[in-house]
Chains A and B, each alone.
Chain A
């Protein structure tokens, strides 16, 4: 049974969290979000709620690899015998959960045993990385993931392709996803390489304002007593948010920037002492997404300033989380 989803717009406060998730939907090139915080701070609620704002993509019917129509069709897309091209259908943008107990074969895919037994063919049984293509891969407590699964994720995130060379299977399919992870920093750190893969990073804390805390309780109880009615109360707001996201998505490709912006970004990175160039690229893309989100077609210095607070802290060399949230 599916648990009813708490509406994204009904989350009280947590503006950074909501903004960074929305910006990633607007502009998937941002590379995902890492959400830091203790248990019970709306981390998972926000991600699940986001699922309903993602919109749809076009895919081939029955294609477990979410191939974009027009792209080469993997040889293993189910085809109806006697028919030509598979039908194109619309499907919700996938939000795939990667549980921390997942084994590597479930993540990357493995031999389809049933098919092998029945027909003697070696075919891939697609893993979670196939289903997450063009969508969101969500890892709750990402810092508790097995090291070798992290390695695989990094590999695929870097390539944008999942190359399976295992257990008699030789197969590759595109796998580009927005990585969303949550972690409680008190339960162990994340390897720097994986940290760097997350475009943005937000720290989520319990609200301090008592009246907001009361509002959290009130809404939570209302949701639990009648989820449908509760959701209906936010339907209009949610629809408006969806529309704004769609509009921003269309606008983002046309958002331009000046050399002054590039200079501002380069200097920001250099003075923060980050490794490599990923921070620069994330800041530029993030600033564009922010401009698009606010209905503009030109990046402002203020966009860079705002996005740098989400793009830099986890990339600083010394004690990544020490200065956050203060």
Chain B
């Protein structure tokens, strides 16, 4: 946890962190070998993620730049841009370096990296990949080296990173709060001591900090001579294959990290334990979220890899970080037990009472490859993020295109700057800068054209309610898992018994949805009307937050109703349902509706759901057997189609 008093000049000492050995180890490994790549710290809020990253800044040494990338940064300051002041004063087209220049050879720290603007992420990845930042803008052509280690933190509750982005991080660590009284008490003691007097607290940890720094220096010296034997290289490949990771970045990360670990422990030879220790960090973010990294037993050390007696120096004392026994699982608190057969068995399946259904069967989700939309849109059309044509949203750059009176001051002034000498000669204006219409640049803003997927589900006691719920739940979770929809929101309204309830308020978080969906009661009467009214409330709230929202409402019902909404209005519940459905559709013209008819097949069919759909101008899909896969597929189809009704 970071507190207000924490400043770069006086960070909370890394050595004073309570527990969090994995976190500390990964940061130090990245510091030992800057070529290792990035480190991603994933974990719940209020665990020492930022504090640790900041603490690293004083360990890495004075010559190594440590640069913060704030979330609100714009492209020009990240990449570099024309120096306005020099352009005005000297009429010179000088280049003003951006963050990517400042960070060369150092550490780029991005807090809440999953919230960073996508456009900036692309810029970072380009530089990260090539080691060079190439700039073509404002009449300038410039390239400079930009090699850096990226350290990112994120809380998965706020949505995950895209797999491509995840893959760029060499290592990832799961960070969780301490679960024992003792360490929790120690966290409070140290944090309050630091907050009340940072300088004297840091004084107490000066020795430990210095030892860390010295050990890091030694490790860096040893690193080039550390040997990774060929049998261990084979072992690394085996680990990667066993975990079915895509590409070779995991192998490289394991190889580099195990060398860095050997160096950190003062050895010039990597041993199998090094690989076993770092493997989970290299794998955790490259495998499916519901899986655990598998590390097979390491090979016996071949004779030529026997540790030699004549090591140059004794290994440094272990400090506060005694080498731990190798732990094959990075997340001992994880719900899934490695011993469970991989047969996708649901541990909760048989639990619960009659009225509470257990979690749905997990199934694989294949991410959809949708390219980002580069056209300006005003909220309609395909999902995914869009360049915004309204004056809201994050400024990401500037353009010559006009028409919105959304002036990009900086870009406009920079465009005007080179012409100042000539213009001043022809003018008597007292202003320092003379701006002409052709200089004008407008902001390019990016904003999420958000999508809301609202499931409205009949949870009454009718046949198949439990199955319906479990399939809906699985569909919701997999839709949220789909990385491309990380910023879309998914919600769930259930109607049953005496009324309707928003079980999952619209959320982008798979973790939050999973928590809320842990237990779902079913049974009772069928208050269809109440469900539709509740859905209307959810839509109204969502629209208030975001007027451009494009909701998709998926109504799972057989169209029956036996409980009217509100006081007795004389209308039969089913007829009332239809008129409420029509009202809902009329009041939400921006929303699209799909009715999924859950009426049992084969018997006498009433076709009530079809009539309901007609009232809403919605498509009605009948299903032989409701399956989560189909729900996901249908939902995607509708969201990807331009039309209000699918053809």
A positions within 8 Å CB-CB of B: 28-29, 103-105, 108, 110-111, 113, 116-122, 143-144, 146-148, 151-152, 154-155, 158-170, 174, 176, 186-189, 191-193, 196, 253, 259, 262-263, 265-267, 269-270, 274-281, 284-285, 317-319
Contacts and interface: CB of A to CB of B under 8 A. Distances in A.
Interface in B135-193: 155, 157-158, 177-179, 181, 184-185, 187-189, 191-192
Contacts of A151: 71-72, 112, 115
B374 interface: no
| A-B interface, 10 closest residue pairs, ranked by CB to CB distance from nearest | A276-B46, A278-B46, A120-B88, A275-B44, A120-B432, A168-B410, A266-B184, A165-B77, A176-B4, A166-B74
B47 interface: yes
28 contacts: A108-B70, A111-B409, A111-B410, A111-B413, A118-B431, A120-B433, A151-B71, A151-B112, A152-B70, A152-B71, A155-B71, A159-B111, A160-B5, A161-B8, A163-B68, A167-B408, A188-B541, A188-B544, A192-B157, A262-B188, A270-B179, A275-B46, A276-B43, A276-B45, A276-B47, A277-B48, A277-B187, A280-B184
Contacts of B411: 167
A111 B84 CA distance: 11
A258 to B, nearest CB: 11
A120 B99 CA distance: 23
A299 B512 CA distance: 35
Contact of A277 (B46, B81, B157): B46
Contacts of B515: 317-318
Contact of A160 (B7, B188, B408, B430): B7
Contacts of B44: 275-276
A317 B509 CA distance: 13
Interface stretch (B389-397, B455-463, B627-635): B389-397
Contacts of A166: 72-74, 76-77, 395
Contact of A119 (B158, B432, B544): B432
Contact of A275 (B45, B115, B414): B45
Contact of A189 (B71, B195, B507): B507
Contacts of B394: 104, 148
A154 B112 contact: yes
A193 B156 CA distance: 10
B47 A277 contact: yes
Interface string B500-537: 00000111010010011010000000000000000001
B392 A146 contact: yes
Contacts of B541: 186-188
Interface string B26-47: 0000000000000000011111
A196 B177 CA distance: 14
A163 B68 CA distance: 8
B127 interface: no
Given A151-B112, A277-B184, A117 B433 contact: yes
A144 B188 CA distance: 33
B3 interface: yes
A21 to B, nearest CB: 18
Interface in B1-31: 1-8
B69 interface: yes
Contacts of A169: 77, 410
Contacts of B76: 166-168
For chain B, what secondary structure do more than half of its interface residues adopt (helix, strand, loop), or is it mixed? mixed
A29 B45 contact: no
Contact of B181 (A117, A188, A263, A318): A263
Given A122-B410, A275-B44, A275-B177, 12 more contacts: A29-B195, A117-B413, A155-B111, A160-B7, A167-B408, A167-B411, A170-B77, A176-B4, A187-B544, A192-B158, A265-B184, A277-B46
Nearest to B186: A262
A161 B115 contact: no
B206 interface: no
Contacts of A265: 184-185, 188
B571 interface: no
A165 B410 contact: no
A69 B369 CA distance: 55
A259 B185 CA distance: 8
B50 A158 contact: yes
Nearest to A154: B112
Nearest to A280: B188
Contacts of B574: none
A122 B410 CA distance: 9
A273 B242 CA distance: 35
Interface in B580-615: none
B7 A161 contact: yes
Given A187-B541, A267-B181, A160 B6 contact: yes
Given A151-B115, A155-B72, A167-B408, A277 B413 contact: no
A318 B516 contact: yes
Contacts of B73: 165-166
A227 B98 CA distance: 54
Nearest to B89: A120
Contacts of A196: 45-46
A119 B50 CA distance: 40
A190 to B, nearest CB: 10
A116 B185 contact: no
A167 B395 contact: yes
Contacts of A189: 505, 507
Interface string B193-220: 0011000000000000000000000000
B184 A193 contact: no
Contacts of B6: 159-160
A120 B85 contact: yes
Contacts of B431: 117-118
B550 interface: no
Nearest to A143: B545
A107 to B, nearest CB: 8
A193 B432 CA distance: 45
A161 B109 CA distance: 14
Contacts of A158: 2, 50, 111
